[in-house]
Structure 1
């Protein structure tokens, strides 16, 4: 199968100047993601799981290694060496990221936030409004909240808004950092069903999960990360 993402020898270190201390977060990570595939990453808190995703998304700049992404816009591109302009473009139109924490521009309502995601993906304004409303309804965000600034939302509402903003794009590559952390079981089912739908439509995904039951039937491969390293790989059930 064709690969959309190939990671070789990825490592990330942090230097704490105040303590004169070097922290090795993830070390010598290598794996490949097939187009339309889903890789799950598990491990204890602090093992380096989120660091791997942030190096792919370029929130962190990796210390060593390569992250080769087969993009529509630029062909095969090492995301570690890509320019800021290239990264910004890819985040808008090709790569989605869902974290537990909401990041939104000031004075932007919940509905505007999701509309902006669809606009970035290239949909017209009319299409973007329609898709945003459909996605907000899907994640059961009450219409009374659509025109409100989300800083007052509960943790679960903010996470559902994050999911709506990322998934409305139907990105080619979707990175998921604990996307069900503060969700109730019914909403988890909605998330899983939509992820299965996106996967069926060709979206490639990497996800971090503590809920192993949620991963069943979703991931093609599962990697276990311990003390910054991948310890084993198994075929997902």
Structure 2
């Protein structure tokens, strides 16, 4: 059974200062089955991240549709859903791992991971326990747990992003270069966690430049060339 259907997806950007349109992804069509992991590869600037951001509704598609089979709402268009529906889905069903850390001011690393669980209705004790377990799994040093992450290195921030998303065990997970600034030992931890989540039924779409990391993880791989799947 499919969990996500991308139908004729296109995203363009208008540069006002240059009076020109930039065509990012174009004519994207694919179906993600429940429990499947699709990998997307391609040159930088080809539109890979744009696809994920349209699914997450960070961007509104210029054309096409993204249909998600939700537990809460049934079959729903992510391109046309209300902001309230999108917020609920992000909190409860759809996870997104970015290379970049976005966090509320004056929030510690542990509070950031706990918040992901508190938003889904977990009590504070359970949220704290699971957050500490996940931070420990990704080997974020314990002396950083109660620190504001604005001083973290790139690798530490990415590990925090991974912990924040994966602690919720999302139904659909979007991964934008989840190993970009990680050492090889941490990459193994990430791969093991992704395999565990996949076995538990999480459906995933990931963008990668590390082709070796994808081996044994992705069920299908699409190459995006000049904004379209090849």
Shorter-chain TM range is over 0.9
Q: Could you tell me which residue of structure 2 aligns to residue 235 of structure 1?
A: none
Q: Could you tell me which residue of structure 1 aligns to residue 152 of structure 2?
A: 153
1:230 aligns with 2:226: no
Deviation by residue 1:103-129 (Cα, 9 ceiling, x = unmatched): 000000000000001122332221111
Query: How does 1:204-219 map onto structure 2 within 5 Å?
Result: 204-219=203-218
Shift of residue 35, structure 1, vs aligned partner? 0.5
Q: Could you tell me which residue of structure 2 aligns to residue 48 of structure 1?
A: 47
Deviates more, 1:179-188 or 1:115-124: 115-124
Q: Could you tell me which residue of structure 2 aligns to residue 89 of structure 1?
A: 88
Shift of residue 88, structure 1, vs aligned partner? 0.6
Shift of residue 154, structure 1, vs aligned partner? 0.3
Q: Could you tell me which residue of structure 1 aligns to residue 130 of structure 2?
A: 131
Q: Distance in 2 between matches of 1:96 and 1:54?
A: 12
Query: How does 1:94-105 map onto structure 2 within 5 Å?
Result: 94-105=93-104
SS in 2 for 1:33: strand
Query: How does 1:10-21 map onto structure 2 within 5 Å?
Result: 10-21=9-20
Q: Distance in 2 between matches of 1:118 and 1:40?
A: 27
TM-score (norm 1): 0.96
Query: How does 1:48-127 map onto structure 2 within 5 Å?
Result: 48-127=47-126
Instruction: Give the aligned length.
Output: 230
Unaligned runs of 5+ in 1: 232-237
1:35 aligns with 2:34: yes
Q: Distance in 1 between matches of 2:62 and 2:36?
A: 27
4+ aligned runs moved over 6 Å, structure 1: none
Deviation by residue 1:141-184 (Cα, 9 ceiling, x = unmatched): 11100000000000000000000000000000000000000000
CA RMSD of aligned residues (A): 0.5
